[in-house]
Chains A and B, each alone.
Chain A
Amino acid sequence: MISVEQLRYVRLGTPDLERAVAFARRIVGLELVGQDDDQAWFRSDYRDHTLVFVAGDPADQTLGIEVRDPASLESARADLEAAGLVVMAGDEAGRRARKVKDYISFISPGGLRIDLVLRPLHSGWRYFPTRDAGITGFHGVAIRSTDIKGDERLWTAVLSGLVSDWVGEAAYIRTDDRHHRISLHPSTTGGLLEVQFEIEGLDQLMQNAYWLRAAQWKLLHGPGRQPASGQIFLTFQGVDDMAFSYVAEGDRFAPDQPQRLPRQFAHARSSFCSWSSECAMIEYAAEGEPT
Chain B
Amino acid sequence: MINLRDVSYCRLGTRDLEGAIVFTTEILGLEIAERHKKAVYFRSDARTHTLCYFEGDPADQAVAFEVAAAADLDQAGAELERLGHSVRRGTAQECELRKVRDMVAFRDPTGNPIELVVRPEYSGRRYFAPRDAGITGFSHVGLCTTDPRRDEQFWTRVCNARVSDRIGDAPLLRIDEVHHTIALFPTDRAGIQHINHQVESADDIQRSYRFLRERQVDIVFGPGRHPTSSAKFLYFQGPDGMVFEYSSGVRSIADELLYRERQFPFEPKGFCQWGAKPKIAEFRS
Question: Which residues of A pack against B, CB within 8 Å?
Answer: 202-203, 206-207, 209-211, 214, 223-225, 274-277
Contacts and interface: CB of A to CB of B under 8 A. Distances in A.
Contacts of A224: 206
15 contacts: A203-B225, A203-B273, A206-B223, A206-B224, A206-B225, A207-B275, A209-B274, A210-B274, A210-B275, A210-B276, A224-B206, A274-B203, A274-B207, A276-B210, A277-B210
Interface string B202-213: 110011011100
Contact of B207 (A202, A206, A214, A276): A276
Contacts of A209: 274
A207 B268 CA distance: 13
Given A202-B202, A206-B223, A206-B224, A275 B207 contact: yes
Contacts of B273: 203, 207
A276 B210 CA distance: 6
Interface residues of B, number: 15
Contact of B275 (A214, A274, A275): A214
A275 B274 contact: no
Nearest to A207: B274
A247 to B, nearest CB: 15
Interface string B179-208: 000000000000000000000001100110
Given A202-B232, A203-B225, 14 more contacts: A202-B202, A206-B224, A206-B274, A207-B275, A209-B274, A210-B275, A225-B203, A225-B206, A275-B206, A275-B207, A275-B209, A276-B207, A276-B210, A277-B206
B211 to A, nearest CB: 8
Interface in B213-238: 223-225, 232
A223 B206 contact: yes
A275 B203 contact: yes
Interface in B8-51: none
Interface of B: 202-203, 206-207, 209-211, 223-225, 232, 273-276
Nearest to B224: A206
Contacts of A207: 273-275
A-B pairs, top 9 by smallest CB distance, nearest first, are A210-B275, A275-B206, A206-B274, A276-B210, A207-B274, A275-B207, A210-B274, A207-B275, A202-B202
A275 B225 contact: no
A113 B53 CA distance: 64
Nearest to A211: B275
Given A202-B202, A203-B225, A206-B224, A275 B276 contact: no
A277 B206 CA distance: 8
Contacts of B211: 276
A209 B207 CA distance: 16
A203 B202 CA distance: 11
Contacts of A211: 275
A274 B203 CA distance: 8
A184 B172 CA distance: 49
A269 to B, nearest CB: 11
A214 B277 CA distance: 11
B121 to A, nearest CB: 36
Contacts of A202: 202, 232
B90 to A, nearest CB: 44
Contacts of B203: 225, 274-275
A224 B206 CA distance: 8
Nearest to B207: A275
A275 B210 contact: yes
Nearest to A204: B274
A152 to B, nearest CB: 30
Nearest to A224: B206
A203 B274 contact: yes
A209 B275 CA distance: 9
A137 B211 CA distance: 33
A140 B224 CA distance: 28
Contacts of A275: 203, 206-207, 209-210
Contacts of A203: 225, 273-274
Contacts of B210: 275-277
A190 B132 CA distance: 40
A278 to B, nearest CB: 8
B273 to A, nearest CB: 7
B189 to A, nearest CB: 31
Nearest to B225: A203
Contacts of B225: 203, 206
Which of A207, A223, A275 has the most B CB atoms < 10 Å from its CB?
A275
Contacts of B223: 206
A207 B273 CA distance: 8
Contacts of A206: 223-225, 274-275
A207 B227 CA distance: 13
Most buried by A among B202, B206, B207, B273: B206
